[in-house]
Amino acid sequence: MLKGEVASESCRGDAKRIALAFDGVLKVHNFLEVAAFLEPASDSSYEDDFFGFDSQEKSARPANDEPIVPEIMRRGTKWPSTHSPETEERLNVARGMETRSADYVSVGSSPAPASVEITRCPTIDSIGEIAPGKTFDLVIGLEKQPQSDGKLISLGSFPSDWSVIEISVQVVADWLQSVESKLSSIVLTPNLPAQPARFTCVVSNDYVPDSSAVVMIYFLHGTRVCGHVTRDLVIVDAMTTPSSDPYRSEETVLPATRLGPSTRPASMIKVVPDAVGPTLSVMISRIDDDHQHWTWKAFGPGGATAGSQPVSLGKSPKAFAESLLASCPDLPREEFRRRMRGIGELIWRAAPEKFRQCYAQSRSQLGKGFPIQFLTDDPFVPWEMMKPDIEEGRVDHLYIEHPVARWPLNGAGQHRSAFRAGAILSFVPDYPTQPLKAAAEESTWICSNLGATKMLPKRKAFLDVLDGFHGEPVRMIHFAGHGRADTGTNDGGIELQDGLVGIFDVYQSSVRIGSTDGPLVVLNACESSAGAEFLGINTGWGAAIAARNFGGLIAPLWAVQDSVAFTMTKDSLPQLVAGSATLGAALTAARAKNADEAVAAFAYLAHGDVMARFFTS
C-alpha cells in the first residue's frame, strides 16, 4: 500500500512500478496523491488499485445482474520498459501473470460505455491420425458463426468498446502420452476471426485403436475457471441423450457411432469480466467408479503452474468418504482434533502426487491464506479437509489454512462471483417434540443483527420463496432446524414445521429464485444434540443448489450440536453479509476459531465461488 504525496502523475506511476518490481509483490494499492503546484489532485478512479495498469484505465461495469466486485484483470501495460530483463519479467508477472490478457476496459475519464453480450460457438477439431504413437493437432476455438451442428452460446456481457478477450485453455486425457501447447489461449477481438488455441498431442502406445478418445478441455479467464467441455474425438453418440442422473451434465457422451471431430458446444462458458479469481483452481473429473482425473492451475510469483494426473481411490468415492467420516459426529472432545488430523492426512495421501507437489510449491512461495477453488464431479470426498503432510506436520487442514469452496464440475448453472443486494429470509421451525433451543436463539440473532426477515417456517412458505413468489430480491435463504440424510429412497431433506423439503422439491423447473436472484442458501440443520445423521454427504444439496442457479450453499456434512451450529453462524455470517469477507474466507475464519472446541466446526463446507462477496448497495 502506497500512501503520501508526490510531485506528478508520472512520479506516482513510477512509484507503483518500482514497488511491483520487488520479488513476491503481486498487488499494489496506490493511494499516493499528486500535490505539486497547479497539478490536479489524483483521481483513484483513473487507476486500478492492483496491478500496473495504464494510468488512464477505468473499470467498466458490465450490464448483467452480477454486481461489481474488486477486479484483477489480465492486461498489459503501455509504458516503455526501462528495466533489466529479469526485473521486467517480474513486472509482467505482477501485471497479470500472463503475456497476453483481457483488454476490455474503457479508456479515459468518460462514463463507462454500454455493455454488449458476446456470443461465440465453441469448436474442437483434431488434425491427424489418432492411433498409438501418432501425433495429431488439437485446435480449440470460439467462432462468431455456428459450424455444422454447433450453436452460439453467450460468453457474458462486456463493455461495448472491448478490444481483446483472452481465454486460456487446458487439455487433459489419460490416453495421451503428452500435450504440448503451441498457443495455449483463445484470443477474441471484435472485428477479426478468433485466434484458436492449438495443441500438439502424442497418443500413448497403450491406446487401443478406434476405442474411445475422450479429452477434457478447461477454459480459464485469468485465474478463474469459466467453463469446460468433455469430447470424444473418435466415438460419440449420434444424438444427445439426457442422463438419468439429474446432477450430471445435460449432455452425456455415449460410445455409439463413428463421427469426426466434434463441434458441439460446451455445456457453459461464462466469463465474468469483473470477477476475482482464486490462486489455485482444481478440477476433478470422474472417469469411472473409483478413478478420477485431476487438473489444476496455480498462480504465484513465478507465473502460472498447471498440471494433471489421474488418481485411483481403490473404492468408490462414496465408500471412501463414508469409511473416513462415519465416526466424526461422535468423536470425544479430548480426541477429535488428533483423529481429524489423521483423517486429513489420509485424504492428503489420496490426492495425486503431482498436485501435492504443486500445493507444497505454492505454500512455500505464498504461505497460508491463498484461496483455493475445487470444481468436482465428486460430491462425496471432502478434499478441502485434507491435511498436507509438509513442514514437519505444522500445516493444518486445507480449509482451516485457506479459503476453500467447491462447486460441481458438471450439471451446474452459472458460477456466480457475487451475491446481489436483497433480503435475508430466515426459516426456523419450533418443533413441539424435539425443540432446538440454540436454533430459536439463532432466529432471534439473525433478525436482530443481520436484518433478516422471520418467515413462517412451513413447507408452502419455503417453497413459495424458491418458486419466486416473495416479491422482492433475496440474497440469502437461512434455515436452522432438523435435517435428515437420504437413505437412497428420496427421504432426506430439511424438516419444516409441517413437513419435509427434499432434494427433488428443489431440483425442478418451478424453482426460479436461483436464476432471478442467485441467493446463498444456509442450511444449519441438525437432528439433535445426540448426533444423529443428517444432510449426509450423499444427499445432493450442493448439486441441486448449483443446478438451479443458486449462488452458493453453506451446510454441514454430519450431525452437529445445536449450540455449535449457532456459534458457527455467528462467527461466519456477519463479515460475509457485510461484504468484508469472501464466502470461502468467512467460513474458514469460523472453522479456525472453533476447530479446537468442537468437531462440528470441521463439518461445514462452502459450495460456490470461493471469492464471491455480498454486494452491499
Q: How confident is the model at residue 253 (pLDDT cuts 50, 70, 90)?
A: very low
Q: How far apart are CA 509 and CA 487, in angstroms?
A: 24
Mean pLDDT of 310-337: 89
SS3 content of the chain, % helix, strand, coil (to 5): 25, 30, 45
Residue where the block lists cell 503501455:
78
pLDDT tens profile 14-23: 888 788 767 5
Mean pLDDT of 222-250: 60
> E-strand spans in 41-83?
57-58
Least confident interval from 351-360, 421-430, 496-505, 573-582: 496-505
CB-based contacts of 142: which residues, under 8 Å, 6+ apart? 120, 121, 122, 123, 155, 167, 186, 188, 194, 196, 269
pLDDT computed for residue 49 by the predictor: 38
Helix axes 336-350, 317-325, angle to 10 degrees: 160
Instruction: Report the b/e string of 185-210 with b at 16+ CB within 10 A.
Output: bbbbeeeeebbbbbbebebeeebeee
pLDDT tens profile 531-577: 233 343 434 788 888 889 999 999 998 888 889 999 999 999 999 99
Dihedral (Cα; 102, 107, 109, 111), 10-degree rounding:
-70
Q: How confident is the model at residue 25 (pLDDT cuts 50, 70, 90)?
A: low
Greatest mean pLDDT among 9-13, 93-97, 177-181, 250-254 lies in 177-181
pLDDT computed for residue 525 by the predictor: 83
Q: How far apart are CA 556 and CA 587, in angstroms?
A: 11
Residue 150 reports pLDDT greater than 90 = no
Residue where the block lists cell 450453499:
553
Least confident interval from 127-141, 223-237, 285-299, 505-519: 223-237
pLDDT computed for residue 585 by the predictor: 96
Domains of the chain: 2-107 (no CATH), 115-276 (2.60.40.10), 296-402 (no CATH), 418-614 (3.40.50.1460)
Residue 76 reports pLDDT greater than 70 = no
As a whole-number percent, the residues of the chain with pLDDT over 70 amount to 77
Residue 110 reports pLDDT greater than 70 = no
With contact defined as beta carbons under 8 Å apart, do 32 and 7 qualify?
A: no
Residue 74 reports pLDDT greater than 50 = no
Q: How confident is the model at residue 578 (pLDDT cuts 50, 70, 90)?
A: very high
Q: Strand 493-496's sheet: what is its strand order?
A: 483-484, 493-496, 499-502
Other Cβ atoms closer than 10 A to 607: 25
pLDDT tens profile 43-69: 443 333 343 333 333 333 344 444 433
